[in-house]
Amino acid sequence: MIFGAHTSTTGGVDKAIIRGRELGCDCIQIFVKNNMRWFGTPYSQSELQSWKEESAKHNPQVIFAHAGYLINLASPPEGNREKSIQSLKQELEFCAQLELPFLVLHPGAHLKQGEEEGIKNVIKALNEVFDSLPSGPRVALEITAGQGTCLGYKLEHLTEIMEKVEKPERLGICLDTAHLFGAGFDIRLPEVWDGVLTKLNQLVGLNNLLGVHLNDSKAELGSHVDRHDHIGKGKIGVEAFAYIVNDSRLKDIPGCLETPKSKDFHEDRDNLKILRELVR
């Protein structure tokens, strides 16, 4: 796997690359705008120029983005549907400017309309987004812990969207170990982990797996709670990560930490060291 961490863009988007490089990340994930706002200010020419210069150094080798948290494509029309579509479009445009290959997105929350209705809304919204942006980065639908009415805690939610959307080539999948665990997949058992990848392969093909978030979980198995912990410090435990990072099916796939961090990011260094030491 290509190991790395989510890195902060504080002080300018190019700073995320510099931080990632300092931490020894081979991949980084970023937010392309404030993740708690609907819309961001477009990048200035000088910001894009510095980004270009930093990213041309090819270290970290893979850079991708995670979408903002307000976007809910499962929302009914009377809710935040239109804003969500416009916000996602802006993020994809920003990703395109930064030449990122994909943007990780949570499928959304159905807000008590029911899962079927929610999934229909997601498909319609994605069709609209891809119609208005004929080319650009892919959207990697992320597995979720299934908090509240959030969709995406089953592989089938993600793969149904992929199968029914008009342009499936614009989509991909992102797994998250903590979300899988919260959703009820006991990945402490190698056969359960193996089952997840086998099923994903049968449903859409592992060539559509674009990234994996490597997080331990503070939350219990099947709790539907999304709380990340340091590798080996949570309920999943280091043994599971030992076979996950050595799974040959994940070769060349970015494995990105989204674990808690303090100002000096030393936790990212520690977690990366643990992951790398597990590689056989």
Residue ranges in contact with Zn ion by CB under 5 A: 142, 176, 213, 258
Residue number with CB closer to Zn ion (47 or 224): 224
Task: Tell the smallest beta-carbon distance from residue 191 to Zn ion (Å).
Answer: 23
C-alpha radius of gyration, the chain, whole number: 18
Q: Which is nearer to Zn ion, 123 or 150 (CB)?
A: 150
Q: Length of the chain in residues, anyone? A: 280
Tell the smallest beta-carbon distance from residue 280 to Zn ion (Å): 25
> Would you say 91 or 258 has its CB closer to Zn ion?
258
- Nearest approach, Cβ of residue 155 and Zn ion (Å): 15
103 vs 274, beta carbon nearer Zn ion: 103
Q: How far is the CB of 3 from Zn ion (least distance, A)?
A: 15
CB 185, CB 158: distance < 8 Å: no
State whether residue 143 is helix, strand or coil: coil
Minimum CB separation from Zn ion for residue 6, in Å?
Answer: 8
Q: Which is closer to Zn ion, CB of 50 or CB of 272?
A: 272
Q: How far is the CB of 57 from Zn ion (least distance, A)?
A: 26
- Parallel/antiparallel/unpaired status of strands 209-214 and 171-176: parallel
- Give the CB-side neighbour count of residue 47, counting CA atoms within 13 A: 15
Minimal distance, residue 5 CB to Zn ion, in Å: 12
Q: Which is nearer to Zn ion, 47 or 247 (CB)?
A: 247
Q: What is the 3-state secondary structure (H, E, C) of 171-204?
A: EEEEEEHHHHHHHCCCCCCHHHHHHHHHHHHHHC
Q: How far apart are CA 119 and CA 110, in angstroms?
A: 8
- What lies within 8 Å, CB to CB, of 14 at 6+ separation is 47, 50, 51, 53, 54, 55
Say how far apart CA 67 and CA 51 lie, in whole Å: 19
What 3-state DSSP class applies to 18?
helix
Output 26 or 142, the one with its CB closest to Zn ion.
142
- Provide the 3-class DSSP secondary structure of residue 130: helix
